[in-house]
């Protein structure tokens, strides 16, 4: 048929006609409405981008400096546990033969500033400085060693207690070159000279502000680790044969590592295990970016829906004049594209600014928890810009397409009927679909997790369930409007403005639904995080309560992290045991070990003899033998061990299963005697008797000491004695340790709270903008109201009631959603990804507080929007 | 060939019948008035004929072309050349001036600018709006708006103009003028017209009067010319 041909003959001409005569003129006539729309779009893009940027900055904060001293080293050899012996270097050189490869032995020790122990960690890295300099690493080709120091060319005499720091370190600790800095290394105070500041080199990652670079022998003697290495880094000399050499060395080292039981790491390995960031923290950020994404989409949909729905009548007229649906769709899609583009550009600028604030908050948390990061600046890469543009424009196009499609498909006679509303996103009115999604979402929660090749577990079903439930909530929320409108109406029989607001909610437009849905998602996800945190806290507090039975806890200064290698020597803890009033101690020595390329913690524990007073674990599978005896009684050649819940999950261990444990003396089989709950880390812990680890690793040092006192002993007095005798140790009372643990816990989630607050704030701002848009569109009605004698304040009041209705819908829907999401987080995602069993706990007080804040903010915002817009001049009907 | 042939069309909203087996026809250039109480289905019938609504059953043919089975694009083409509608509430495009509103259908049908330059002043002249052609819709009086709507309907030189209470929103004097205008246009261009009205005065320009009652076309009286 020729019909279609003639109709779509001049798409450009008709497109231009619609554009120049209709859309563009609307823009010119109503710049305020357009600004509001672009504002909503920008907010959506900004919240999305800022959380992404902040997330990325946090991740790169962890990933930076690659923990590699030789920059991009090709291989790193490290022991599965403990340290390497320097003899490894010789073996390695023999293997490498004549292949040109740079070999950099490294020793890493952590220390703490004696003056400012609260300032966190200092990482001391001992390396062959001459070799580093020759390889022009970290010196940018400039003089590192020879420069200002008095060192000669060969060997560097007198460098044992000197170190080099980056300029950020110097700033942080107020160091002047040549000045001494008192440090505590392995519990021993040392005076330490800073002999140079490493210049910043723009081509290299900046030197972290907690790193001291030293000559290897110097650090070895300082830390009493003579002849020991943490790792050996290998760098293939550049050149045409580099690729070939890398392969050759790789194969040789692989053999060597397999032979000696070492671990060989390639840069790829390191990238895949990029961060040591706590998985819990990462999960937080993942959920938050999801939250930002959804809130962003809702805001954008809302803006575009409005743009199209508002002109429903006009579209009908155009159709009655013979404009085809396709032409109408095309014109409105172009509008969506251009608005989306403008919104995205503004949003990128806004998001960049918001991200800076977020990054400061995130890196503060990261620093208190993991100490190993620098505040990495927010970098707005081209990729991110492009991604945000695509996000903003795509979301706008999709958002514009659905209502445009609908408006152009409805019979014009329908749309033209006065007040013939109920248009917009028909999808949003599909509450039966919402019920189906609800069932599907709950079903997904029971899908078993996916185990990746790397061994890590992804709770895919849990995440899918969360997404589907969020969608379902968006559809079901429409059901709330009618009852809410009735409640509003019933309570306000004598207030016509309230009745008017109720009438608006009885027939919600698409943007009412979208606004409430956006708010419900923000509230639902935030509150679900609240459930997670509260459940976590309740469980953790109970656990700490049970765990901490001793009177005093002693550790080397700064030992707030298991990864830190600081230890107490045998003479130190023996002296503490001899202090009058001390009746017994529990001792633990921690090692980081690796089995099947999975790292976890090994604890050698040594419990005191009093059966009532040793470390109380929370048992999931209690051992057959009561108390420490269970750890000391060997059955056959295997050694008994207690596995933490997360370790058991990662290695599929049950009571009676065995796990081969790498030790300095070779592999030892450990048989699981019991499984205990542990919330301190998600990598897992294996506890064995210290008498065995002492043998295997040949060392009598310990990491922590729990001190039990005689009933009549004075806790404070013993504490004082320990502090005076051992200034390098940190001793805390039971109560202090508890409060410290809880404080650290709260710090972990401080960022979460901040980000949630932002999400809810933006959803409420979206509510304000939505109302502003609705009122602008309703200006005729407002004019009628005023003609009927309504004052400006009364109109503001009706807007306020409408805002309260919207907020109530969002809150009700959001809270219902949060119970489900919380359930999924606690019983599906959490056990699958961390292996932690938590008890479900709803923070009712926070719920009430959040509701009060949201409602009052929404009421205030809505009132002022109403007040501002009440004086809009009504339009005469054409 | 008839300008309009309606046979046995039926339409219900929510199971309530609004049109019940309505049949009638209009000759080329014939004008008929459609009267009846409020809610009897007059506008619905008109919308179905204009192709902006669809009957449940029955057949409508314009210039011998059946609307049945036409897809949306074909209906659009019909509205661009064969039939146009004048509404009670004018339905002008609010962003366009009077002249631009009239020009719009010409641009849609792809008329070149030079042709439009000739035709547009003629149309404006024909409805007597030369002095107000640059005004925006909200600056016009009801009668002026209806003149714009009529010129817009006339622009495509349709074979049939459907008018839904064209004088319903106007005072009687203005209404008379608009009726004269419609009659003149119909005579001059040989355009058939179906006028929905509540005022018996309208019948003076119509040869026939059709009467709707509860969705039924009950009476087809031949009025004296
Ligand atoms: N979209 C619709 N949904 C439901 N009912 C409708 C719809 N459109 C029309 N009706 C109903 O169909 C009947 C006929 O309506 P219609 O507009 O055709 O009447 P009318 O004869 O034009 O009345 P009036 O003289 O008042 O304009 C009315 O009862 C009306 O309520
Ligand atoms: Mg009618």
Same domain, A259 and A310: no
Residue A472 in domain: no
- Residues contacting A660, CB < 8 A, separation 6+: A595, A667, A668, A669, A670
Same domain, A26 and A142: no
Q: Calculate the average pLDDT of chain B.
A: 87
Same domain, A515 and A570: no
Choose one of B34, B37, B42 to mutate for the ligand 1 pocket test, by most ligand atoms within 8 angstroms of C-beta: B42
Per-residue confidence band for A752, with pLDDT thresholds at 50, 70 and 90: low
Model confidence pLDDT, tens digit, residues A2-30: 344 455 556 677 888 888 888 888 888 87
Same domain, A865 and A751: yes
Residue A773 in domain: yes
Same domain, A14 and A92: no
Contact at CB, B77 and A3, closer than 8 angstroms:
yes
Between CA A485 and CA A428 the distance in angstroms is 18
CA of A397 to the centre of ligand 1 (A): 36
Residue A703 in domain: yes
A26: nearest CA partner in chain B? B95
Between CA A44 and CA A424 the distance in angstroms is 20
- Residues contacting A247, CB < 8 A, separation 6+: none
pLDDT of residue A855: 92
Give the N- to C-terminal CA distance of chain A in Å, as an integer: 37
Taking the CA of residue B8 and the nearest CA in chain A, the distance in Å comes to 20
Per-residue confidence band for A63, with pLDDT thresholds at 50, 70 and 90: very low
Q: What is the DSSP letter of A437?
A: H
Name the pairing type of β-strands B31-35 and B192-196: parallel
Paired with A188 in beta bridges are A185
Which of A689, A709, A727 terminates a domain? The answer is A727
Contact of A836 with A542, CB cutoff 8 Å: no
Between CA A383 and CA A296 the distance in angstroms is 19
Same domain, A174 and A261: yes
Same domain, A115 and A4: no
Which of A659, A694, A727 terminates a domain? The answer is A727
Same domain, A532 and A664: no
Same domain, A718 and A742: no
pLDDT of residue A4: 44
Angle at alpha carbon of residue A639, lines to A637 and A645, rounded to 5°: 140
Between CA A598 and CA A812 the distance in angstroms is 44
A13 touching B (Cβ < 8 Å): yes
Contact at CB, B52 and A13, closer than 8 angstroms:
no
Which of A681, A699, A727 terminates a domain? The answer is A727
Same domain, A290 and A320: yes
Residue A461 in domain: no
Paired with A164 in beta bridges are A196, A213
For ion ligand 2, residues whose CB falls within 5 Å? B 43
Residue A849 in domain: yes
Per-residue confidence band for A714, with pLDDT thresholds at 50, 70 and 90: confident
Contact of A603 with A689, CB cutoff 8 Å: no
Nearest to A557 by CA among A120, A107, A181, A163: A120
Angle at alpha carbon of residue A684, lines to A703 and A266, rounded to 5°: 90
Residue A468 in domain: no
CA of B197 to the centre of ligand 2 (A): 9
Residue A874 in domain: yes
Residue A421 in domain: no
Report the domain count for chain A. Answer: 4
Per-residue confidence band for A157, with pLDDT thresholds at 50, 70 and 90: very low
Q: Give me A5's structure tokens.
A: 């041909």
Same domain, A740 and A721: no
- In the predicted model, is pLDDT for residue A365 greater than 70? no
- In the predicted model, is pLDDT for residue A419 greater than 50? no
pTM of the predicted model as reported, rounded to 2 decimal places: 0.63
- Using DSSP, how many helices (H) and how many strands (E) does chain B show? 6, 10
User: Which of A497-501, A772-776, A800-804, A868-872 is predicted most confidently?
Assistant: A800-804
Residue with tokens 């000669």: A152
Contact of A509 with A421, CB cutoff 8 Å: yes
Per-residue confidence band for A380, with pLDDT thresholds at 50, 70 and 90: low
Q: In 3-state terms, what secondary structure has residue B219?
A: strand
- In the predicted model, is pLDDT for residue A69 greater than 60? no
- Distance from the Cα of residue A435 to its chain's centroid: 32
Q: Which residues of B fall below an 8 Å CB-CB distance to A?
A: 44, 47, 50, 52-54, 72-74, 76-81, 84-85, 87, 89-96, 100, 104-105, 107-110, 137-138, 145, 152, 156
Ramachandran angles phi, psi of A553, nearest 5°: -125, 130
DSSP string computed for A241-283: THHHHHHHHHHHHHHHHHHHTEEEE-HHHHHHT-----HHHHH
Task: Pick the atom of ligand 1 nearest to A413's CA.
Answer: 1
Nearest to A141 by CA among A204, A218, A193: A204
Model confidence pLDDT, tens digit, residues B106-134: 888 888 889 889 999 999 988 888 999 99
Q: Which of the two residues, A787 and B95, has the higher pLDDT score?
A: B95
Taking the CA of residue B105 and the nearest CA in chain A, the distance in Å comes to 7
pLDDT of residue A565: 52
Between CA B205 and CA B184 the distance in angstroms is 10
Domain that includes residue A632, residue range: 558-727
- In the predicted model, is pLDDT for residue A239 greater than 80? no
Residue nearest ligand 1's atom 16 by CA: B41
Q: Give me A710's structure tokens.
A: 């005689």
Same domain, A177 and A225: yes
Alpha-carbon torsion (A286, A291, A292, A298), positive or negative = positive
Give the N- to C-terminal CA distance of chain B in Å, as an integer: 23
Between CA A38 and CA A22 the distance in angstroms is 19
Q: How many CA atoms lie within 13 A of B97 on its CB side?
A: 11
Q: Which of the two residues, B37 and A163, has the higher pLDDT score?
A: B37
């Amino acid at each position: 048929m020729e019909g279609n041909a003639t109709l779509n003959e001049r798409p450009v001409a008709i497109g231009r006609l619609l554009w120049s005569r209709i859309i563009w003129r609307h823009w010119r006539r109503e710049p305020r409405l357009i600004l509001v729309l672009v504002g909503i779009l920008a907010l959506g893009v900004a919240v999305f981008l800022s959380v992404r940027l902040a997330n990325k900055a946090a991740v790169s904060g962890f990933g930076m400096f690659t923990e590699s001293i030789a920059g991009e080293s090709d291989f790193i050899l490290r022991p599965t546990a403990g340290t390497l012996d320097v003899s490894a270097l010789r073996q390695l050189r023999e293997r490498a033969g004549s292949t040109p490869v740079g070999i950099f032995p490294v020793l890493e020790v952590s220390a703490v500033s004696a003056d400012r122990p609260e300032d966190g960690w200092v990482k001391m890295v001992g390396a062959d400085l001459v070799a580093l300099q020759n390889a022009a690493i970290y010196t940018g080709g400039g003089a590192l060693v020879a420069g200002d120091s008095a060192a000669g060319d060969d060997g560097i005499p007198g460098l044992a207690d000197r170190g080099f720091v980056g300029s950020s370190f110097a700033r942080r600790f107020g160091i002047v070159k040549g000045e001494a800095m008192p440090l505590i290394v392995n519990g021993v105070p040392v005076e330490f000279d800073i002999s140079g500041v490493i210049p910043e080199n723009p081509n290299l990652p900046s030197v972290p502000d907690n790193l001291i670079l030293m000559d290897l022998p110097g650090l070895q003697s300082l830390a009493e680790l003579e002849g020991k290495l943490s790792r050996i880094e290998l760098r293939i000399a550049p050149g045409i044969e580099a690729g070939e050499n890398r392969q050759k060395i790789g194969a040789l080292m692989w053999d060597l590592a397999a032979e000696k039981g070492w671990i060989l790491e390639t840069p790829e390995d390191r990238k895949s295990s990029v961060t040591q960031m706590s998985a819990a923290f990462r999960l937080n950020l993942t959920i938050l970016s999801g939250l930002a994404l959804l809130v962003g989409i809702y805001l954008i949909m809302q803006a575009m829906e409005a743009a199209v729905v508002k002109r429903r009548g006009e579209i009908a007229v155009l159709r009655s004049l013979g404009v085809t649906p396709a032409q109408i769709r095309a014109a409105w899609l172009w509008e969506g594209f251009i608005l989306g583009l403008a919104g995205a550009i503004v949003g990128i600028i806004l998001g960049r600014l918001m991200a800076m604030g977020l990054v400061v908050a995130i890196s503060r948390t990261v620093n208190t928890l993991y100490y190993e990061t620098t505040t990495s600046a927010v970098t707005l890469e081209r990729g991110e810009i492009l991604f945000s543009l695509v996000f903003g424009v795509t979301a706008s196009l999709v958002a514009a397409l659905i209502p445009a499609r609908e408006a152009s498909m409805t019979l014009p006679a329908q749309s033209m009927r006065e007040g013939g509303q109920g248009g917009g996103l028909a999808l949003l009115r599909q509450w039966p679909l919402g019920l189906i999604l609800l069932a599907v979402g709950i079903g997904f929660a029971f899908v078993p997790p996916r185990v990746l090749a790397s061994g890590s577990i992804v709770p895919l079903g849990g995440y899918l369930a969360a997404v589907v439930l969020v969608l379902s909530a968006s559809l079901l929320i429409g059901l709330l409007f009618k009852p809410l409108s009735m409640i509003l109406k019933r309570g306000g029989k004598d207030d016509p403005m309230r009745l008017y607001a109720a009438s608006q909610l009885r027939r919600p437009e698409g943007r009412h639904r979208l606004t409430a849905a956006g708010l419900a998602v923000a509230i639902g996800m935030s509150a679900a995080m609240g459930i997670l945190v509260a459940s976590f806290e309740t469980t953790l507090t109970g656990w700490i309560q049970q765990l901490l039975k001793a009177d005093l806890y002693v550790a080397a200064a700064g030992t707030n992290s298991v990864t830190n290698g600081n230890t107490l020597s045998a003479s130190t803890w023996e002296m503490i045991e001899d202090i009058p009033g001390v009746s017994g101690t529990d001792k633990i020595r921690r090692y980081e070990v690796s089995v099947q390329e999975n790292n976890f913690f090994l604890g050698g524990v040594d419990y005191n003899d009093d059966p009532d007073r040793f470390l109380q674990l929370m048992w999931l599978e209690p051992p057959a033998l009561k108390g420490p005896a269970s750890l000391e009684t060997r059955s056959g050649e295997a050694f008994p061990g207690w596995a933490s819940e997360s370790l058991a999950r990662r290695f599929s261990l049950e009571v009676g299963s065995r796990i081969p444990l790498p030790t300095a003396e070779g592999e030892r089989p450990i048989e699981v005697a019991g499984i205990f709950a542990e919330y301190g880390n998600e990598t897992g812990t294996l506890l064995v008797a210290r008498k065995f680890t002492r043998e295997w690793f040949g060392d009598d040092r310990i990491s922590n000491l729990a001190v039990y006192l005689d009933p009549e002993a004075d806790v404070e007095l013993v504490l004082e004695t320990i502090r005076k005798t051992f200034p390098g140790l940190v001793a805390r009372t039971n109560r202090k340790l508890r409060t410290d643990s809880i404080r650290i816990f709260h710090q972990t989630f401080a960022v979460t709270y901040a980000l949630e607050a932002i999400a809810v704030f933006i959803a409420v701002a979206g509510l304000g903008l939505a109302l502003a848009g609705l009122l602008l569109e309703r200006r005729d009605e407002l004019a009628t109201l005023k003609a009927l004698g309504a004052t400006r304040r009364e109109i503001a009041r009706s807007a306020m009631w409408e805002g309260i209705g919207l907020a109530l819908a969002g809150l009700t829907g959001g809270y219902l959603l949060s119970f489900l999401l919380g359930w999924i987080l606690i019983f599906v995602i959490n056990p699958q990804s961390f292996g932690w069993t938590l008890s479900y706990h709803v923070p009712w007080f926070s719920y009430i507080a959040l509701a009060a804040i949201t409602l009052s903010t929404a009421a205030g915002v809505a009132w002022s929007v109403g007040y501002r817009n009440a004086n809009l001049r009504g339009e005469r009907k054409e | 060939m008839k300008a309009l042939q309606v046979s046995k069309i039926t339409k219900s909203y929510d199971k309530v019948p609004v049109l019940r087996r309505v049949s009638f026809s209009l000759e080329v250039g014939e004008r008929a008035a459609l009267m009846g109480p409020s809610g009897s289905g007059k506008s619905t019938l008109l919308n179905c004929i204009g192709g902006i609504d669809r009957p449940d059953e029955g057949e409508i043919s314009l210039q011998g072309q059946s609307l049945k089975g036409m897809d949306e694009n074909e209906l659009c083409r019909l509205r661009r050349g064969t039939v146009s509608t004048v509404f009670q509430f004018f339905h002008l495009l609010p962003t366009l001036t009077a002249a631009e509103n009239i020009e719009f259908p010409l641009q849609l049908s792809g008329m070149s600018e030079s042709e439009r330059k000739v035709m547009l002043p003629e149309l404006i002249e024909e409805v007597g709006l030369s002095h107000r052609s640059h005004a925006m819709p909200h600056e016009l009086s009801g009668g002026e708006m209806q003149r714009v709507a009529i010129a817009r309907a006339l622009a495509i030189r349709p074979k049939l103009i459907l008018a839904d209470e064209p004088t319903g929103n106007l005072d009687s004097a203005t209404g008379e003028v608009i009726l004269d205008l419609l009659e003149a246009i119909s005579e001059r261009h040989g355009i058939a017209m179906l006028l929905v009205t509540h005022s018996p005065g309208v019948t003076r320009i119509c040869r026939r009067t059709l009467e709707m009652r509860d969705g039924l076309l009950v009476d087809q009286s031949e009025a004296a010319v």
